[in-house]
């Protein structure tokens, strides 16, 4: 999962370089902010998955209730990831002046598309 986050980070950088070439400094910053608004929560989610993977698995962990706890923790982590992403995008929209919206949306879209592409290409 950390490999996916690294790919997303690198994608943010590449898209920001393209935005800089096309639209200048404001476009590059907007693109980076959009990409990081998705990459940061995904990184935290990857840490959550790593933490789940290192929990001791006793006999209770292999029971139905143990699997349910893992599934619930995974679902809660995914929910928090989505809420953080939306919150960061809202914060960017409210606080950053001179946002170049097409560049920000391109950064978000590229990072989200890379998540699926990185998972497919194992």
What range does the domain containing 66 cover? 2-120
**Cα-Cα end-to-end distance for the chain:** 11
Residues 89 and 95 sit within 8 Å (Cβ to Cβ): no
Name the pTM for this structure. 0.82
pLDDT 10s digits, 59-103: 445 566 777 888 888 899 899 999 999 999 999 999 999 999 999
Number of domains the chain is built from:
1
Residue 122: CB atoms within 10 Å: 5
Burial class (CB in 10 A: 0-12, 13-18, 19+), 27: buried
pLDDT band with cut points at 50, 70 and 90 for residue 58? very low
Reading the block at residue 54, the tokens are 């290192």
> What's the pLDDT score for residue 118?
72
> What's the pLDDT score for residue 56?
65
């Amino acid at each position: 999962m950390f490999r996916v986050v690294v790919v997303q980070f690198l994608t943010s950088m590449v898209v920001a370089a393209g935005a800089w070439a096309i639209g200048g400094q404001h476009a590059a910053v907007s693109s980076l902010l959009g990409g990081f608004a998705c990459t940061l929560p995904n990184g935290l989610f990857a840490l959550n998955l790593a933490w789940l993977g290192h929990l001791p698995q006793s006999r209770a962990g292999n029971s139905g209730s143990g699997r349910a706890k893992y599934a619930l923790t995974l679902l809660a982590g995914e929910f928090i990831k989505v809420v953080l992403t939306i919150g960061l995008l809202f914060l960017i929209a409210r606080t950053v002046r001179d946002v170049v919206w097409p560049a920000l949306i391109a950064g978000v879209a590229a990072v989200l598309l890379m998540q699926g592409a990185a998972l497919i290409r194992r």
